[in-house]
Chain A
Amino acid sequence: MTGFMVLLRKELLEQWRTTRLPVVATVFLLVGLSSPLLARFTPEILQAVGGSQFSLTLPTPTAADAYDQLAKNVGQFGALIAVLLAMGSVATEKERGTAALILTKPAGRGAFIVAKLTAIAATLGVATVIAAAGGWFYTLVLFQPLDVAGFAAATVLTWLALVAFAAITLLGSTLTRSAVAAAGIGLVAFVVIGIVSVVPGVGPYLPTGLGAPARALALGLSGADALGPTVAAVVLIVALVAISWLAFRDQEL
């Protein structure tokens, strides 16, 4: 991991200087704020759209609906943003020749890969916390307060799932010289994981499987088994980074 801290510093500066961090944080903030609003006013919106021609009987929205809306939006937008952040991380540097600039210095290829994922994870982490804070606050205003510790734990699990999608795309970015191809790999993985997640016994151990324990933690429900899915996600991320490193260390630049 020669040069990891130096490269991480460079990656974090790049996240800020290229406005990725501020843009992603802003998008997540909007998602965080709008999700409880959408949950709260969906019945009124539908009623207004339908007018007097038909009547809808919808249950009164609750804090659980607000959380579900937030989790769904962050999960979908977040995964897409994770793919966008990671798609060019290695491929673009190979294509533009900047990887060669760095890797003719005393910097290990493992450090190069890990620094990239760490910086992307940091950006996703900041953005997810902002979305969660916004969502928690509007849930408080519009519904009722949710347990802070449980909500924080749910936020960590949500972030972990996003990092897993970033790691999948990072592997794609390492294997190819094209950011578009890397994005394709990330999006296909997102779809495949979504399909496979309905398979009993497998679904809970995929990144999307973190959603159920996160919901239970956020809403203070019993029976939240977060350990298995969390370990599975961490193992998946570590394995993806290891494969990325093994592939990258044999590549000519």
Chain B
Amino acid sequence: MSAPPAVPATTPEAAIQARGLTKRFGRILALDRLDLTVPQGSIFGLLGPNGAGKTTAIRILTGLARPSDGSASVGGVMVGLDRPDLRRGIGYLDQDPRFYSWMKGRELLELVGRLHGLEGADLRARVAEMLDRAGLTSAAERRIGGYSGGMRQRLGIAQAMLHRPRVLILDEPVSSLDPEWRRDLLGLISSLRGDATVLISTHVLSDVERICDRVAILHRGRLVTEGPLEELLAAHARPIFRLVPAAGQDDRVAALVAALRAAPWSTDVSPSGEAIRITVSDPVAAAGAILPLVVAGGVSLDAFERARPTLEDVFLELVGLPKPDELDGRGFVRPREVTDR
């Protein structure tokens, strides 16, 4: 008999807590001592490049995998492999939701509802409501095997939200959705703020900026940072200026880019389409020096602005772009290996 895992120091405000959560696959370290606190009622974004450990963390939190070390609780219940009580308050959408192909959409939702204790008129009404919300009413009597990828994704969202869970865990929920459904889902998730806790894993940073109030960034299994979105933007996003040169002056623009790169306050100069993004270390010095450089180079501008930092800037500042030798054949960042201590 092994000793029971240590209970994380819970706080009444935390819907999800993880302490030292570690997952090893042989010598591969998929998750490395993750500490995470997701406040109740928050919409929490779990970010990271492919292979960062997001799905591994979610699989542990939903009881599909067991941690090699550390412990976690969801809704005050310790996570574990065979814990039906853990799942009572959880709604979960897998990044690649799988269903019984022989089953009809309505039957799937009725099955999930019954497992959550819904019966009779309550079950029928809730199933009808979720079919409607997912735009699947007309396909409710069709076999799931004939559904498109987007329809399966919407069915997955419907089954995850059917029982009004206190904690909703969504792994890449918008990956197969078209723009209209993506907008609707993000609106739906936003409407849950305060009533339910949502943990959403994604690498679509603009979605996270739009709906999340807290963010954690994982990279190669480790927590890089965690906190309220605005605080992260203020703390980590470097000041950025944006220039839009007028068309037809490529040589002069190239010379300007070289001059900007040589400036002591410039940390990154990225021509992007028609614009030039200039990340700086000293915004005061940069604000006074950029326009003189533009004038000296004889470049005429269509626009010049100080850009609002975005989550992408924070992400690139903390994680950076992966180098080619850091990627495996699938485009995933290679995980760490266990080091002998």
Interface of A with B (CB < 8 Å)? 2-3, 6-7, 9-10, 13-14, 17-18, 96-98, 100-110, 249-253
Contact = CB atoms under 8 A, between A and B. Distances in A.
B115 A6 contact: yes
Interface in B46-85: 59, 62-66, 81-82, 84-85
Contacts of A108: 82, 84
Interface stretch (B91-99, B266-274, B291-299, B312-320): B91-99
A95 to B, nearest CB: 10
Contact of B98 (A96, A109, A110): A96
Given A3-B84, A97-B94, A252-B66, 4 more contacts: A13-B107, A104-B90, A105-B115, A250-B81
A6 B114 contact: yes
A149 B341 CA distance: 72
A109 B84 CA distance: 9
B96 A252 contact: no
Given A106-B116, A252-B81, A98 B98 contact: yes
Nearest to B160: A104
Interface of B: 59, 62-66, 81-82, 84-85, 87-88, 90, 92, 94, 96-100, 102-103, 107, 111-112, 114-117
13 contacts: A3-B84, A6-B115, A7-B115, A100-B94, A102-B115, A103-B64, A106-B117, A108-B82, A109-B81, A110-B82, A251-B81, A252-B64, A253-B64
A13 B107 CA distance: 10
A6 B66 CA distance: 26
A107 B115 contact: yes
A6 B111 contact: yes
B111 A10 contact: yes
Nearest to A105: B115
A250 B85 CA distance: 17
Contact of A2 (B84, B96, B99): B84
A10 B104 CA distance: 12
Contacts of A110: 82
Given A97-B94, A252-B64, A252-B65, A106 B82 contact: no
A106 B66 contact: no
Contact of A105 (B81, B102, B112): B112
B118 to A, nearest CB: 10
A148 B12 CA distance: 67
A169 to B, nearest CB: 21
A104 B102 contact: no
Nearest to A96: B98
Contacts of B64: 100, 103-104, 252-253
B115 to A, nearest CB: 4
A8 B105 CA distance: 19
Among all A-B residue pairs, the 4 with the closest Cβ atoms: A97-B98, A2-B84, A105-B115, A106-B84
A13 B172 CA distance: 31
Contacts of B88: 106
Nearest to A109: B82
Chain A CB within 10 Å, residue with most, of B59, B84, B85: B84
Chain A CB within 10 Å, residue with most, of B62, B81, B96: B81
Contact of B115 (A98, A106, A249, A252): A106
A2 B85 CA distance: 9
A3 B118 CA distance: 12
Contacts of B103: 13-14, 17
Nearest to B64: A253
Given A98-B99, A105-B112, A249 B82 contact: yes
Contacts of A9: 114
Contacts of A96: 98
A184 B245 CA distance: 70
Contact of B99 (A101, A103, A106, A249): A101
A99 to B, nearest CB: 9
